[in-house]
């Protein structure tokens, strides 16, 4: 059970293993791109490539879905980046439902653990497998693996790196459950932290914040929901940055050089904006933005 690209590695790994994937459950096709053309989710594309049966219920509480899955007589549900399963589905598989979660639970329970780990400047995250219960990300732990976060890594880059590592951990978990060799471990409730889904407004840059906090927000919001600031009545997305040895009034452009690029003052220093995206344009280097747009030192970014 899964939908986005993060789940594809897990599907491929399980399909190539000694275990039989009897069906794949994923979200319905959705409009995509500027033309809003109906397109299948990544997991469906790979499932069809592998010749697997695909189920795309409009809602997980559809009686027909429970009936079809019960007919498969499943030993286990493997759930990766998917919706919360209703209790009737959780009760179907003989061994329960295993979820792959990209954090070291109980840290960063929720829909966006990778993004929040980067935004909060974590140097380490990880992967957890757990048995699902009706409470979100609160089931007993099965296996965990720590993963270092590179200081320059974006959330998108980290997600791409975690996907195949998670697939390996999920397969080891399924193997262990089949052998009966994995001991369950309760989560420590005193260490719970949350990682809720982000909205567009969460990407707004407040230039009064410290340099490192802004840099981490830019990394964590890349590619979604995207970090942004206001400039000349429009929005300027900021995809990448690094600290700069300047100081000034927060939000002030301190340097707009065709070769060196664009430097903006923060609450305790400055950031060199190395990759930006004006409204309606593709991403570009900060220096290319200075060459192509009328921005000069002294301009103000933000509200």
Compute the mean pLDDT over every residue in the chain, rounded to the nearest whole number. 97
Q: Would the pLDDT of 237 be above 90?
A: yes
| Fold topology of 200-292 | 3.10.25
**Confidence class of residue 210 from pLDDT cuts 50, 70 and 90?**
very high
The Cα–Cα gap between 256 and 289 comes to: 9
Q: Would the pLDDT of 79 be above 90?
A: yes
Specify the pLDDT at position 34: 78
Instruction: Report DSSP state, residue 299.
Output: -
**Confidence class of residue 175 from pLDDT cuts 50, 70 and 90?**
very high
Q: How confident is the model over 124-167, as pLDDT tens digits?
A: 999 999 999 999 999 999 999 999 999 999 999 999 999 999 99
The Cα–Cα gap between 56 and 22 comes to: 14
CATH of 5-191, one of 3.30.70.1230, 3.30.1460.30, 3.40.50.170, 3.40.50.300: 3.40.50.170
DSSP string, 229-265: EEETTEEEEEEEEEEES---STTBEEEEETTTEEEEE
Q: Which residues have CB under 8 Å from 258's CB, separation 6+? A: 287, 290, 291
Question: Sign of torsion, CA 52 53 57 60?
Answer: negative
Specify the pLDDT at position 233: 83
Residues counted in the chain: 303
Specify the pLDDT at position 303: 85
- 243 CB-contact burial (10 Å; exposed 0-12 / middle 13-18 / buried 19+): middle
Q: Would the pLDDT of 296 be above 90?
A: yes
Please, what is the Cα angle at 166 between 160 and 172, to 5 degrees? 155
The dihedrals phi and psi of 71, each to the nearest 5 degrees, come to -65, -20
Share of the chain above pLDDT 90, in %: 97
Q: How confident is the model over 262-295, as pLDDT tens digits?
A: 999 999 999 999 999 999 999 999 999 999 999 9
| pTM (2 d.p.) | 0.96
Specify the pLDDT at position 163: 98
Domain definitions of the chain by residue range: 5-191, 200-292
């Amino acid at each position: 059970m899964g939908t986005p690209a993060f789940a594809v590695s897990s599907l491929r790994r399980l399909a190539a293993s000694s275990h039989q994937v009897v069906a794949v459950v994923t979200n319905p096709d959705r409009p995509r791109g500027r033309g809003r053309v109906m397109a299948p989710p990544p997991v469906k594309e790979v499932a069809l490539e592998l010749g697997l049966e695909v189920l795309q219920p409009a809602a997980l509480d559809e009686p027909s879905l429970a009936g079809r899955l019960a007919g498969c007589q499943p030993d286990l549900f493997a759930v990766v980046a998917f919706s919360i399963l209703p209790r009737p589905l959780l009760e179907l598989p003989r061994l329960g439902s295993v979820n792959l979660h990209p954090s070291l639970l109980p840290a960063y329970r929720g829909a966006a653990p990778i993004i929040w780990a980067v935004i909060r400047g974590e140097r380490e995250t990880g992967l957890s497998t757990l048995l699902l219960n009706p409470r979100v990300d609160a089931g007993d732990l099965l296996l965990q693996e720590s993963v270092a976060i590179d200081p320059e890594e974006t959330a998108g880059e980290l997600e791409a790196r975690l996907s195949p590592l998670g697939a390996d951990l999920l397969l080891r978990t399924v193997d262990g459950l089949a052998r009966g060799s994995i001991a369950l471990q309760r989560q420590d409730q005193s260490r719970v932290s949350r990682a809720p889904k982000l909205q567009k407004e969460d990407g707004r840059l407040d230039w009064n914040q410290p340099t490192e906090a802004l840099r981490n927000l830019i990394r964590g919001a890349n590619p979604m929901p995207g970090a942004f600031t206001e400039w000349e009545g429009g929005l300027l997305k900021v995809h990448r940055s690094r600290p700069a040895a300047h100081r000034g009034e927060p939000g002030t452009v301190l340097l707009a050089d065709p070769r060196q690029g664009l430097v903006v003052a923060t609450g305790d220093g400055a950031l060199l904006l190395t990759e930006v995206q004006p409204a309606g344009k593709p991403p570009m280097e900060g220096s290319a933005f200075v060459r192509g747009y009328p921005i000069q030192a002294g301009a103000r970014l933000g509200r």
